[in-house]
Amino acid sequence: MTKLESWIQHNTFHHSQFYDQLELLKQKEKTGLTISLCIPTLNEEATIGKEIVIFRSELMERYPLVDEIAVIDSGSTDKTLEVAASFGADTYFAGDILPSQGHKRGKGENLWKAIHQLKGDIIVYVDADIKNIHPRFCYGLVAPLLYREEIKYVKAFYDRPLAFSQGVRPSGGGRVTEILVRPLFSLFFPELTGLVQPLSGEYAVRREVLERLPFPIGYGVETSHILDVYRQWGLEAFGQTDLDQRVHRNQETLSLGKMSFGILQSFLGRLKNMGMEGNLPAMTNVLRQFIAKDQQYEQVCYDIVEEERPPMIDIPEYREKMGYDG
């Protein structure tokens, strides 16, 4: 059995393995670890309420596995924060956290600032657009960290039906993974191809790892995390959990193109940091796309720059808060 086959066999879980939440709670108490659930948002009023209700009722009140639930928002113009707060979540505008560091708009910014704001030894990130939300989206990811000390970063995977206005299409999703990220991993980091869905937005991570990771603020944050964790802690640090099915909204192909462009920037940046970039030429940050309009194609150019935040452990306010400097 190869190293990768062994990892797939021993570090791949199914959420049903952890259905007994009383046992999970006992394990949490045994470890003494605290758990924070973070939901990054931007205009998610349609789905955020149901997520908060289910997580709070099942994972804080019925089985107190989670110690805090927080929504970190990029600047929603709808009622995302009001809805989340009305159902009992702690709510924050990312720009109000670490104001000395300024505010950059992007999901990665929310995830990065959550490390400073939240208290847990483990932070679980769950996207806000899940239409079939269930407590397994949290406990299925936390459990491997509670039972296996050597595992540090647990990714979710699932079937990904797409939600359309006329109903749910039973297959599809994960297109950027299969068209871009999986081929890149296959070429440069074949051990990482054991991750079923490396771009999934749901994952649980130990603080000691999160605080040492640089954070792209845009599309490349998940890909960069995987490469950085792999480089620093190896394949054994990863776990992955099958959550069965995740129903979410569809994204247009042009949007996936912008996402792929940002991911590729981050990927090539990591290759450079690892001394693997070869003789690549200087690269542009402009993505040109064409949109059919009447009988013509209209050009649209996007300037996409994958800015990056430093590891949180390098931020003076965070070091002071955590007492790292004595």
CATH of domain 3-322: 3.90.550.10
pLDDT confidence of residue 309: 93
Tens digit of pLDDT for each residue in 124-171?
999 998 888 999 999 999 999 999 999 999 999 988 665 555 555 444
* Integer Cα distance of 226 and 157 in angstroms: 14
Kindly report whether the global pTM for this prediction surpasses the value 0.75. yes
Asked if pLDDT for residue 71 goes beyond 90, the answer is yes
3-class state of residue 240 by DSSP: strand
User: What's the average model confidence in pLDDT over 282-298?
Assistant: 79
User: What's the average model confidence in pLDDT over 183-199?
Assistant: 92
Q: Looking at the DSSP assignment, which residues form a beta bridge with residue 97?
A: none
**What average pLDDT does the structure give for the chain?**
90
pLDDT confidence of residue 174: 77
* Integer Cα distance of 62 and 256 in angstroms: 39
* Integer Cα distance of 326 and 319 in angstroms: 9
CA distances (Å), origin 58, targets 52, 105, 316: 10, 32, 36
| CB distance 154 to 145 below 8 Å | yes
